[in-house]
């Protein structure tokens, strides 16, 4: 029996699975984040290896029994960044039977298969990635929290925390998010926020966790929180439309799958996206992903193994 490994390496966690040639999952592993731009190359490598090893132990096989591995890793979009990750994993995969790729591509494959479509990812960061029937690919977004990531968990949280301090100053309307900050996070004065937000130990994914208070307030009917999610949904739709225009999809039917923690907001985020897409890409249909990104990575490992590689018998 042949075995394959799929890896989904994100900013806050790394997932790995071992599958056989029929796609049946034999083992799963989970470890910390593996975006080397966030955690450093040593920790990123260690977390990928840890997740894979956990999956291998559960599957009851050794790394030498693996036919091919496909690692979709955040922060690997640029060739130089991708090469750093490849070099760091060569000892772990001594046969060279692995590929390092962007996490957006494995998310797309898991979400819609190998056909045409777009995946919009809104976790800590945000990006849209798509493919057309001619296998052309395009992306938009993914510029990180300083330059972009609109509609992401980080962006939603930042907008929520900003609304809280604006209300505290008297520059904005009162919001339920202030009470939730006290009840859920034990910060009963907005003046406590800078100490947390600007601490050297605080990272984008730490701030992104505060997106939950925006969602909770919006679900309770808070207009300020609802507006944040509406704007976030519109921004994510703009990313999808940018990809669709590059791939000439705006006049055809195509699926738009959504992946990531920000979508726990449900229709509060999805409906504004849907309304914006209907205007410029009426054939776009928002759909839940067929499979998670880590299974998309395993699918791509199986496909990669079909092509001859240097040194392969």
pLDDT tens per residue across span 252-276? 999 999 998 899 999 999 999 999 9
Is 310 contained in some domain?
no
Is 313 contained in some domain?
no
Is 87 contained in some domain?
yes
Using H for helix, E for strand and C for coil, what is the string for 75-105?
CCCCHHHHHHHHHHHCCCCCCCCEEEECHHH
Q: Is the pLDDT of residue 35 over 90?
A: no
Q: Is the pLDDT of residue 312 over 60?
A: no
Angle value at C-alpha 215, between 210 and 219, nearest 5 degrees: 150
Give the β-pairing of 126-131 and 117-122.
antiparallel
Q: How many CB atoms lie within 10 A of CB 201?
A: 6
Q: Are residues 176 and 31 in the same domain?
A: no
Q: Is the pLDDT of residue 153 over 60?
A: yes
Q: Are residues 259 and 161 in the same domain?
A: yes
Q: Are residues 77 and 146 in the same domain?
A: no
Q: Are residues 179 and 98 in the same domain?
A: no
| Cα end-to-end distance, the chain, whole Å | 17
pLDDT score of 313: 31
Count how many domains the chain has: 2
Identify the band that residue 131 occupies on the pLDDT scale cut at 50, 70 and 90. very high
Q: Are residues 285 and 147 in the same domain?
A: yes
Q: Cα 197 from chain centroid?
A: 22
Q: Is the pLDDT of residue 184 over 60?
A: yes
pLDDT tens digits, one per residue of 217-248: 999 999 999 999 999 999 999 999 999 999 99
The average confidence (pLDDT) of the chain is: 91
Identify the band that residue 308 occupies on the pLDDT scale cut at 50, 70 and 90. low
- pTM reported for the whole predicted model: 0.87
Q: Is the pLDDT of residue 114 over 70?
A: yes
Domain range enclosing 28: 3-109+292-304
Q: Is the pLDDT of residue 297 over 50?
A: yes
Q: Are residues 30 and 126 in the same domain?
A: no
**Rounded mean pLDDT, 302-313:** 64
Identify the band that residue 74 occupies on the pLDDT scale cut at 50, 70 and 90. confident
Is 311 contained in some domain?
no
**Which CATH number does the domain housing residue 262 bear?**
3.30.420.40
Q: Left, alpha or beta for 23 (phi > 0: left; psi -120 to 50: alpha)?
A: left
Q: Are residues 63 and 146 in the same domain?
A: no
Q: Are residues 82 and 172 in the same domain?
A: no
Is 277 contained in some domain?
yes
pLDDT score of 28: 96
Q: Are residues 265 and 126 in the same domain?
A: yes
pLDDT score of 311: 38
Q: Are residues 100 and 135 in the same domain?
A: no
Is 309 contained in some domain?
no
Q: Are residues 22 and 153 in the same domain?
A: no
% the chain with pLDDT above 90: 68
Q: Are residues 44 and 165 in the same domain?
A: no
């Amino acid at each position: 029996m042949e075995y394959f490994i799929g890896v989904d390496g994100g900013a806050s966690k790394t997932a790995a699975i071992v599958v056989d040639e029929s796609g049946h999952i034999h083992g799963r592993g989970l470890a910390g984040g593996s975006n080397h731009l966030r955690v450093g190359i040593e920790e990123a490598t260690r977390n990928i290896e840890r997740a894979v090893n956990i999956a291998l132990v559960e599957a009851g096989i050794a790394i030498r029994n693996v036919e091919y591995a496909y690692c979709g890793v955040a922060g690997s979009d640029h060739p130089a960044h991708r090469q750093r990750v490849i070099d760091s994993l060569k000892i772990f995969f001594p046969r060279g039977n692995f590929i390092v790729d962007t996490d957006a591509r494995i998310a797309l494959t898991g979400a819609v298969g190998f056909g045409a479509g777009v995946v919009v990812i809104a976790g800590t960061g945000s990006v849209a990635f798509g493919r057309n029937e001619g296998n052309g690919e395009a992306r938009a977004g993914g510029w990180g929290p300083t330059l972009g990531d609109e509609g992401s968990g980080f962006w939603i949280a930042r907008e929520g925390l900003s609304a809280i301090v604006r209300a505290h100053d008297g520059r904005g309307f009162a919001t339920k998010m202030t009470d939730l900050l006290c009840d859920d996070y034990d910060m009963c004065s907005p003046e406590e926020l800078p100490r947390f937000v600007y601490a050297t130990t605080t990272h984008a994914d730490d701030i992104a966790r505060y997106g939950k208070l925006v969602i909770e307030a919006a679900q309770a009917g808070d207009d300020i929180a609802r507006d944040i999610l509406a704007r976030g949904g519109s921004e994510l739709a703009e990313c999808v439309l940018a990809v669709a225009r590059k791939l000439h999809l705006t006049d055809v039917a195509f699926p738009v799958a959504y992946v990531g923690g920000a979508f726990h907001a449900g229709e509060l985020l999805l409906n504004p996206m849907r309304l914006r897409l209907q205007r410029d890409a009426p054939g776009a249909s928002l759909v839940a992903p067929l499979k998670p990104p880590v299974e998309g990575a395993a699918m791509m490992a199986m496909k990669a193994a079909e092509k001859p590689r240097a040194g392969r018998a």
